[in-house]
Homo-oligomer: A and B are copies of this chain.
Amino acid sequence: MSSSETRPDQPVITGATRLYAIVGDPIAQAKSPAVYNALLAAAGRNAVLVPWLLSTADFDAGLRGLLRAGNVDGLVFTYPHKQAALPFADVVHSRARQVGATNALRRRLDGRWEADMFDGVGLVRALEDVGTSPGGRTIWLVGAGGAGGAIAFALAEAGASQIHLTDVEADKATGIAVSVAKAFPGVIVSLAPPSLETVSILINATPVGLSDADGLPVALDDALPASLTVVDIVPREATRLLDLARASGCRTVGGAAMVAGQAAAVLDYFGETAA
C-alpha cells in the first residue's frame, strides 16, 4: 500500500465535498483514484473520487443507491460494469449508444443522469503522444467488451484504414464490427486475426494481464516486429504483453497513459454540470 512517505496531492475532504466514484470489480488495483484526485486538487475543485467495489450480483441495487446520494455528481465505470450501467442513464450520448456501454455517468443540473464514453478518446490521445497516430494504420484490437468497443469506434473515427477485431467471445466481436463498419463505411473491419507483419498497432483491450498468473491475451511469437506499437489497457506498468513488446524494441502504451487521458476528459465532462 502506498504510505504517507510520498503523500500525493488530493482534495481535502469536508462535509461539503462533492463525490465521484469509480465502480468496478475488482477495484483494489485501480490507479484512477490517484490520477483523478491529483487533477481535482490541481484544479482546486472541492470534489474527490473514491473506489467503489460492486459485484455483478449487487450491481443493480448498488447503483440505484449511488444515484440517490445527493452529493454524488459523477460515476466512472470500469470492468465489468460498462454495459450494465448504460440502462441507468436518462440521457445517452451518441458515443455511448454506438458502443452500448458507458464509462462516465454525470448528474445534470435538472437532476437526470447522462451517459458518455471516453475509453476510446483516451487511447487515441495516448497513441498520438508516442507518435503513432491511428490515421491510415492497420490495427489489431483484441477484446470486444466495453473498452474494446469504445476503442474500435475511436480508432475508426481517428481514420484507421483497417481494424482486425478479435475476442474469445466471437459474437461480441461480430456485433461491434458490424456497428463500426456501418458508422464508418471507409474503414475495413475484419474478424480474422491478421499476420503481425501487416499490423502497425496491437492493442489488448481484455482484462488478461490483471493477474500475475495471466499469460498473453493472444498467442504470439517470442519476438514481435520492432515496428509494432503495442498497447495494453490493463492498469499495470508491466504485463506479459508489455514485457514482450519492450524486449522486442516496440513502442509501448500502458494503461496509465490511457487512464490519464481519460481522466482529464471525464473530469471536464463532470465539471460542466457542477453546482
Task: Name A residues whose Cβ lies closer than 8 Å to a Cβ of B.
Answer: 1-4, 7-10, 12-17, 19, 22, 25, 27-34, 37, 41, 44, 46, 48-55, 58, 61-71
**A36 → chain B, closest Cβ, in Å?**
9
**A13 → chain B, closest Cβ, in Å?**
5
Check A14–B27 contact: CB distance below 8 A.
no
Tell me whether A69 and B46 are in contact in the complex, defined as CB-CB below 8 angstroms, given that A15-B28, A29-B15, A61-B64 are known contacts.
no
Complex: chain B residue closest to A63, CB-CB: B65
Tell me whether A8 and B12 are in contact in the complex, defined as CB-CB below 8 angstroms, given that A54-B68, A68-B54 are known contacts.
yes
Check A13–B41 contact: CB distance below 8 A.
no
Check B71–A51 contact: CB distance below 8 A.
yes
Q: Could you say how many copies of this chain the assembly holds?
A: 2
Secondary structure of the A contact surface, majority rule: loop
> What residues on B are CB-neighbors of A7 within 8 Å?
12
Check B13–A50 contact: CB distance below 8 A.
yes
Contact of A62 among B19, B33, B68 (CB under 8 A): B68
Cα-based distance from A46 to B29 in the complex (angstroms): 14
Complex: chain B residue closest to A55, CB-CB: B70
Tell me whether A58 and B48 are in contact in the complex, defined as CB-CB below 8 angstroms, given that A16-B1, A33-B13 are known contacts.
no
> What residues on B are CB-neighbors of A3 within 8 Å?
12, 44
Check B1–A15 contact: CB distance below 8 A.
no
Contact of A33 among B4, B14, B52, B53 (CB under 8 A): B14
